[in-house]
Amino acid sequence: MSVATTADLSLCAPLPVLGGDVTVPLVTGGEVGYAALDYAASAPALQRVWDDVAAYAPYYGSVHRGAGYLSQLSTDLFENSRTVVHEFLDCRDTDQVVFTRSTTDSLNLLAAALPAGCEVFVFETEHHASLLPWSDARVTYLNAPRTPAEAVRTLEHALADRDPYGPALVCVTGASNVTGELWPVKELAAAAHAHGARIVLDAAQLAPHHPLSVQELDVDWVAFSGHKLYAPFGSGVLAGRSDWLQEAEPYLAGGGASRKVTRRTDGGVDVEWHTTAARHEAGSPNVIGVYSIASACKALTEAGFNTLVARERHLIAKVREGLAEVPEVKVLSLFGDDAPRVGVISFVVEGWNSSHFAAALSAEYGIGVRDGLFCAHPLVRTLLGGDQQDVGECGAPEAKPGEKSLNAIRVSFGAGTPDEHVDRFVSAVKELVRDGAQWKYRTEDGRCVPDRG
């Protein structure tokens, strides 16, 4: 296989996405093409996905129980989408693909299906979607590791102290939504299985950026969201082993999950639930959301992850090298500068409140990033070491008026990001640090906004 040079990669066209031609006004006057650099929150939908959905829309129908042509067509599309996702994740033949609303919904579904007495082990570094759903189980929260090897050792030590005869689950991210760093998922899965535990992978940030094989990583379940995989909002996936899911009560009770319902002589009802994925898909499913996920899976596969990963590394290098030229910028990291990562980078700027800095990037340069604690509060607080930032003209949402705040700035990008967007971002960071903001800002409803008064 030939190795692409930096020059080759810069010429590789990003995948077409919606919103690429949107312009936004600047407070300093005029308009500029919007630079969407908040992919870690929600990636723009691929044009291919939108076109596929638009082509299907006239044939829209309810699935599974309709005798009409459109219902049958929609049912085939829905179930074929399940097959596409199964193949995209390289699942085992016996694995189930359950469609949900999001990663958060998927992990809450799995939490509801845990066997009685199950112990859960989760690092404090997780996104809240994978940190918080386990309240009904015995949870062990593990401290943030500083190397991948330390992560494996920490898990092994924790599992060695557990009840060896009871069920246990490990929950881990594939790529951090704060630092972008890749976690040693395969090694953590091996450690979990060696101690009789299962493991679920939060792949919300991994699946859009890297090829993902359930079989190669040897994880028991994987969860991800459509809106981070270049599909519209409102759809997600939980894929993996079926036994715990089949043995649990349905996540939602209702039509579609039930196979047979009969009245009892005492006036009540008896229910026979499905043992397929339908058991946890009650109600009318989000057919368009499911189809959009399948379309995105096909588009990424056809584009080739080798090419996508190589180009993203090119963009990551541009951003990191540019930020390294600004002494006032501190990039946040658990595993160090050499750790492999996806296109997610968080940082703070000396002398700036992060909310103020992010607002200036938007209002003066047309660049959309994110500021705050990124639904990973324990991790960001650990990475910042508890150091509070200076009070700026605008406080973070978490800070009361006049108080110092603890927050960071996150820039994230992916398959649809053109070089110009990251070039403009790096240039804007340098200009803001060197010259300061050109506009006045104030806090409004907890957000930093331009002062137009």
- Please state, as a whole number, how many other Cβ atoms lie within 10 Å of the Cβ of residue 182: 20
User: Cα(344)–Cα(410) distance, rounded to whole angstroms?
Assistant: 7
- DSSP H stretches of helix in 3-117: 6-11, 47-56, 69-88, 103-112
Pick from 155, 184, 180: nearest CA to 168: 155
Residues in CB range of 307: below 8 A, 6 or more apart: 4, 12
- DSSP H stretches of helix in 172-221: 185-194, 214-217
Tell me if residue 3 falls in helix, strand or coil. coil
Pick from 452, 332, 443, 351: nearest CA to 397: 443
> By the 8 A CB rule, do 226 and 61 touch?
no
DSSP 400: P
**What count of residues does the chain have?**
453
User: Cα(248)–Cα(256) distance, rounded to whole angstroms?
Assistant: 16
Residue 375 annotated among the catalytic residues of the structure: yes
> By the 8 A CB rule, do 378 and 131 touch?
yes
Residues in CB range of 62: below 8 A, 6 or more apart: 71, 74, 284
Pick from 288, 338, 314: nearest CA to 81: 288
Q: Which residues pair with 443 in a beta bridge?
A: 448
* Torsion 134-372-41-347 (CA) sign: negative
Exposed (0-12), middle (13-18) or buried (19+): which is 125, by Cβ within 10 Å?
buried
Question: Residue holding tokens 């030590």?
Answer: 157
Phi and psi, residue 444, nearest 5°: -140, 120
Spot the catalytic one: 12, 297, 375, 394.
375
User: Cα(96)–Cα(245) distance, rounded to whole angstroms?
Assistant: 9
Active-site residue numbers? 375
